[in-house]
Chain A
């Protein structure tokens, strides 16, 4: 527990409050368009939290990929489908929904208790300022970079190269699959 309140702590509390509030708005609001806009706000505040944690690259990617690409896709689909509003949620009358709420509270409590009691001894705890990759060819050659973005990039392309290539194949398959699924069926068109 920090003794005096630092500006980073204040930022964290403001951003996490905005994040939880807009997440609740996503789930509880009846109009799906307002849900989507609240989700954009939630992603922005989460990007701010990443920036507070010094994960600059991930914060940028959060803004570009999530709020820039995925949410535009979601809002386009909402407009394409011309959704009507849901009727009342009626959380307290439906017994299945009551069980669902109890279940969620149990999950939340369990994760909270587990995170409070968590105290492992892994890693040296030094802040990540640089990344070093040793090439295994008998000599003492290697790559060393400084800074958050350079560290993530070097780690992606040196240590995690095979998963990176597999993700590119996955994205190609997903794009082709999305086009094939959403295409109008010529046989049933008549």
Chain B
């Protein structure tokens, strides 16, 4: 276990990832605009990627970087499907604010 990555302690990378994840959660909980909520989810995915790379470099195991590559592919798929759903909802309801979308309410 190597606690220094390029001269920077592992804890700093983990703290940065924690801050980014917390900001992402904040965005999901506070914002009403579905596109901004979507971008906050991307922010959380990037925080997790940073943790994967930090531990991969710290432990000397290459698998973490491969998994980050897979996470990026899945984020791309999620972006395509999520934005398509947003476009479809906007066509029906003429809004993307999540408190005005109540299609499942009866």
Contact = CB atoms under 8 A, between A and B. Distances in A.
Contacts of B27: 26-27
Contacts of B81: 174, 177-178, 181
A122 B53 contact: no
B23 A152 contact: no
Interface in B1-54: 1-2, 4-27, 29-33, 35-36, 38-40, 42-43, 46, 49-50, 53-54
Contact of B42 (A39, A57, A101, A115): A39
B60 A125 contact: yes
Contacts of A181: 81, 84-85, 87-88
B66 A152 contact: yes
Contact of A127 (B19, B23, B57): B57
B33 A32 contact: yes
Interface in A58-81: 58, 61-62, 65-66, 69-70, 73-74, 77-78, 80-81
B83 A39 contact: no
Contact of A49 (B23, B26, B50, B83): B50
Given A8-B8, A111-B22, A115-B15, A58 B84 contact: no
Interface in A139-185: 148, 151-152, 155-156, 159-160, 163-164, 167, 170-171, 173-175, 177-179, 181-182, 184
B96 A27 contact: no
A74 B83 contact: yes
A126 to B, nearest CB: 5
Contact of A167 (B22, B32, B74, B87): B74
B57 A54 contact: yes
Contacts, number: 245
A173 B77 CA distance: 9
Given A58-B65, A170-B73, A20 B80 contact: no
B72 interface: yes
A81 B25 contact: no
A181 B88 CA distance: 7
A35 B22 contact: no
Contacts of B40: 26-27
B65 A104 contact: no
A43 B76 contact: no
Contact of B76 (A16, A24, A108, A171): A171
B61 interface: yes
B48 to A, nearest CB: 11
15 contacts: A8-B6, A8-B7, A12-B8, A20-B16, A27-B40, A53-B6, A53-B13, A53-B57, A57-B65, A58-B49, A65-B75, A66-B72, A86-B32, A125-B1, A155-B66
Given A9-B7, A70-B75, A73-B80, 5 more contacts: A26-B36, A46-B50, A107-B22, A115-B14, A115-B18
